Structure 1
Amino acid sequence: MSNKTLELIQNVRLVGREGLWQLAFENGRIKAIKPMCETQPESQQILDGRGGLAIPPFIEPHIHLDTTQTAGQPSWNQSGTLFEGIERWAERKALLTHEDVKQRAWQTLKWQIANGIQYVRTHVDVSDPTLTALKAMLEVKKEAAPWIEVQIVAFPQEGILSYPNGEALLEEALRLGADVVGAIPHFEFTREYGVESLHKAFALARKYDRPLDIHCDEIDDEQSRFVETVAALALRDGIGARVTASHTTAMHSYNGAYTSRLFRLLKLSGINFVANPLVNIHLQGRFDDYPKRRGITRVKELLEAGINVCFGHDDVFDPWYPLGTANMLQVLHMGLHVCQMMGYQQIDEGLKLITDNSARTFGVQDYGIAEGNAANLIILPAENGFDAVRRQVPVRWSVRAGKVIATTQLSQTWVMLDEAEEITFGG
């Protein structure tokens, strides 16, 4: 199996266009997009897309690669709560080594590449005087660059003000090369600390010219309202497009009057949102009797208000989430269910929540299947977005800079009744 440089991809479907198309590449970029024709060029560097759906690569806008592959080490999160997860991680963090972090991160990165992900934003815990995980992840980022673009968020897991020297460690992480400023205001000791931590994070973003991605209001407490401070500071500094509020699960519990006022500010600020359906539905509602809240932010309402929202994993096989294979279609599938976005058009266009919308959050330039753009794309064995989501199809090919970097051999299923029949689960 070789990752040959392609000149042409034929027989693919494109979103919003009828029929089959061909994509011509030159120097790692898309040179031309044309309808399929009967005349076949003479070249060995052609990939037959077999009628699959070609879309931009998947983007993972929120994951913790420093914690991945640690579920059950040294013990399992028995309560399933966010806060026990933090306790279990504190135990495992004491055992971190440089090579340990790199090995685990690379294992999950390979899963991501196999699943058609070509851009990853990873939060890395910097509540550590040695910054062991950060230094390891900076190496991984450089090593992985030919195949997958990694952004690193300097994430103060135990707080900026509530952890000894938290602010200094956060700034040191930025000096060392972290790409994004993080914060976790709802985990600070007091509300006042939480607000102050956001002011400090925004000050560092201005000083180092970095975007921000805030773990924000990841709690079922309806009084946790740090997202309004995030939006107000983003509006003040005119940097909404470079600011992301991740989780915001408390918004699920806000009253209608407050939410109406809040949405006006969110719209004015232009900030981005990341929901993490697999983990949010698992961790939230743990302190409820019945009925139990879903505990995911107001995805549908945010989208209807014209506010950018995308979906991420958050965790893969770690103290907060014991499952996962880094498959973005699993994330989307769960998200569409728990957000009650099950209309045909919502499902068909759902891929935007793990592609185009994520690209805005990530700040990707040169993204999308268009002439002149980088030849980065994936091909799904599906007729359209609805089909891809319904059947949870694998990524048949992942192409980066005109080279195939991952491929999946499709499985076959047969039933043996009166006669053998192949089952494709098609509609």
Structure 2
Amino acid sequence: MTEPLNAIVNARLTGRDGLHSLTINNDRFTEITVQTSPVTAKANELDAGENLVTPAFIEPHIHLDAALTAGEPRWNQSGTLFEGIECWAERKALLSHEDVTNRATQTLKLFAAHGIQYVRTHVDVTDPSLTALKAMLDVREQTASFIDLQIVAFPQEGIWSFPNGRELMEEAIRLGADVVGGIPHFEFTRDYGADSVRWLMELAHKHDRLVDVHCDEIDDPESRFLEVLAAEALRLDYGSRVAASHTCAMGSYNDAYCSRLFRLLKKSNLRFLSMPTENLHLQGRFDSYPKRRGITRVPELLDAGLKVAFGQDSIRDPWYPMGNGNLLRTLDVGLHACHMLGMSRIERSLELITDNGAAALDLKEYGIAPGRPARCVVLQGQTPYEILLGQRPVLASVRDGKVLVQRAAAQPEADLILT
């Protein structure tokens, strides 16, 4: 990091016309002022170059314990969620503290280079030794200078269906996991799945933890654990602290059922996390044609006033062999997959990787406003439309008033042609 900044100048801001200066003092934004024209940056000022400046990006759903393990010990040839779980069970037996720490740290550095400063990772706790969890607790401390990391106690092989599953979840919370997870559609029976949701919600409520459940990540229209999660969130008045991840089955629900379901979802005020790149890859594997692609009803959820964020889910692991850490890529794919390329959607699209993710992570101090931590990114483009078209990496990432990442602006493609 460099010396602390006094200001960011020549910045465009979402929802505001013209150029602005962002004054920084003691690691926080102190003032936002309108500029009548571009200015020359002074010492300890960052010139945004008339580009859009947004809050730092948020990765709300990743599996760092499995990152960079694709092909180890074998490749997921079917491309299904379930073979991925089988491959991971084999790789999990080979985990060590150093192995998990090195891969997770490497991945978080990749994220930071793309302007991500907040990450929620799911960590498999269906391991009697809790090797990955203990390693991730160390990673959280070691990377705190450039990433805020939330850790989910994630029962990859089930709570009811894995030996001592409940005890392992409780131990994970005792050790310091921030979030209670679940995977009801992977439990052996429907009753086990519903019981696991009720139990994990009580566990979170008892220990004042957030909740993030892998919910209905399957094309089966009869997989309806989302309604159980929403009902429990409503009963406990906990909805704003609960995230439903994936909810792929919602893409297969009939409209009559969804009409009733959405009434409950709005009352419960759940947060939703969609992983478009991963679920486009994993879902529809049991279909011939027409082939479902497993994306939840993102525009409908947004229109209902609910918060939806996009995440990457995986970086080169048994479930997804690709991934480069660039959330703009995920956003681009998601907008295409969800039929969200109308200009009104594009203009608000960056919320899917910023503000809505902050709501899912229950961040109390987030955004560009006086008094908030000076954490932001300078993008390459003046509008969300330009940024999506260009897909260029962030020009700068500022964390607590210091430049964490900075790169030169990409040369326009037309200028690369030799004549």
User: Counterpart in 1 of 2:395?
Assistant: 396
Contact kept in structure 1, 2:10 and 2:39, CA below 8 Å? no
Query: Residues of 2 paired with 1:257 and 1:42: CA distance?
Result: 57
Please list the CA deviations of residues 10-66 of structure 1 after superposition, one character each: whole Å capped at 9, or x if unmatched. Answer: 111111111111111000001111122679799521111111111001101100000
Query: Residues of 1 paired with 2:317 and 2:375: CA distance?
Result: 30
User: Counterpart in 1 of 2:170?
Assistant: 171
Aligned CA distance change for structure 1 residues 348 and 156 (closer, same or farther; 3 Å):
same
Contact kept in structure 2, 1:376 and 1:400, CA below 8 Å? yes
User: Counterpart in 1 of 2:131?
Assistant: 132
User: Counterpart in 2 of 1:354?
Assistant: 353
Q: Which moved more, 1:339-348 or 1:406-415?
A: 406-415
Amino acid in structure 1 at the alignment position of 2:111: Q
SS state at 1:50 partner: coil
What is the RMSD of the two structures over their aligned residues, measured on CA atoms? 1.4
SS state at 1:395 partner: coil
TM-score by length of 1: 0.95
Contact kept in structure 1, 2:19 and 2:37, CA below 8 Å? no
Please list the CA deviations of residues 371-420 of structure 1 after superposition, one character each: whole Å capped at 9, or x if unmatched. Answer: 11110100002111111112112110000100011122333343446x4x
Query: Residues of 2 paired with 1:42 and 1:259: CA distance?
Result: 53
Contact kept in structure 2, 1:240 and 1:271, CA below 8 Å? yes
SS state at 2:403 partner: strand
User: Counterpart in 2 of 1:313?
Assistant: 312
Query: Residues of 2 paired with 1:416 and 1:120: CA distance?
Result: 39
Following superposition of structure 1 onto structure 2, how do residues 253-402 of structure 1 map, counting pairs within 5 Å? Answer: 253-402=252-401
Please list the CA deviations of residues 188-244 of structure 1 after superposition, one character each: whole Å capped at 9, or x if unmatched. Answer: 000000011111101111221111100000001000000000000000000100011
Q: Which moved more, 1:39-48 or 1:158-167?
A: 39-48
User: Counterpart in 2 of 1:190?
Assistant: 189
Contact kept in structure 1, 2:28 and 2:371, CA below 8 Å? yes
Contact kept in structure 2, 1:379 and 1:397, CA below 8 Å? yes
Q: Post-superposition shift, 1:3?
A: 2.3
Contact kept in structure 2, 1:24 and 1:32, CA below 8 Å? yes
Q: Percent identity?
A: 57
Amino acid in structure 1 at the alignment position of 2:109: K
Query: Residues of 1 paired with 2:146 and 2:400: CA distance?
Result: 9
Q: Post-superposition shift, 1:5?
A: 0.9
Query: Residues of 2 paired with 1:411 and 1:302: CA distance?
Result: 35
Aligned CA distance change for structure 1 residues 199 and 389 (closer, same or farther; 3 Å):
same
User: Counterpart in 2 of 1:422?
Assistant: none
Q: What is the total number of aligned residue pairs between the two structures?
A: 417
Contact kept in structure 2, 1:231 and 1:271, CA below 8 Å? yes
Please list the CA deviations of residues 259-312 of structure 1 after superposition, one character each: whole Å capped at 9, or x if unmatched. Answer: 110000001101111000000111000000011012110001111111111111
SS state at 2:31 partner: strand
Q: Post-superposition shift, 1:4?
A: 2.2
Following superposition of structure 1 onto structure 2, how do residues 154-169 of structure 1 map, counting pairs within 5 Å? Answer: 154-169=153-168
Query: Residues of 2 paired with 1:194 and 1:312: CA distance?
Result: 24
Query: Residues of 1 paired with 2:275 and 2:40: CA distance?
Result: 45
Contact kept in structure 2, 1:151 and 1:179, CA below 8 Å? yes
5+ residue gaps, structure 2: none
User: Counterpart in 2 of 1:425?
Assistant: none
Amino acid in structure 2 at the alignment position of 1:350: S
Aligned CA distance change for structure 1 residues 221 and 40 (closer, same or farther; 3 Å):
closer
Contact kept in structure 2, 1:51 and 1:381, CA below 8 Å? no
Following superposition of structure 1 onto structure 2, how do residues 97-108 of structure 1 map, counting pairs within 5 Å? Answer: 97-108=96-107
Query: Residues of 2 paired with 1:356 and 1:133: CA distance?
Result: 29
Contact kept in structure 2, 1:349 and 1:386, CA below 8 Å? no
User: Counterpart in 2 of 1:246?
Assistant: 245
Runs of 4+ in 1 over 4 A off after TM superposition: 37-43
User: Counterpart in 1 of 2:55?
Assistant: 56
Query: Residues of 1 paired with 2:278 and 2:227: CA distance?
Result: 23
Amino acid in structure 2 at the alignment position of 1:354: I
SS state at 1:136 partner: helix
Query: Residues of 1 paired with 2:6 and 2:117: CA distance?
Result: 20
Q: Post-superposition shift, 1:106?
A: 0.4
TM-score by length of 2: 0.97
User: Counterpart in 1 of 2:12?
Assistant: 13
Q: Which moved more, 1:173-182 or 1:142-151?
A: 142-151
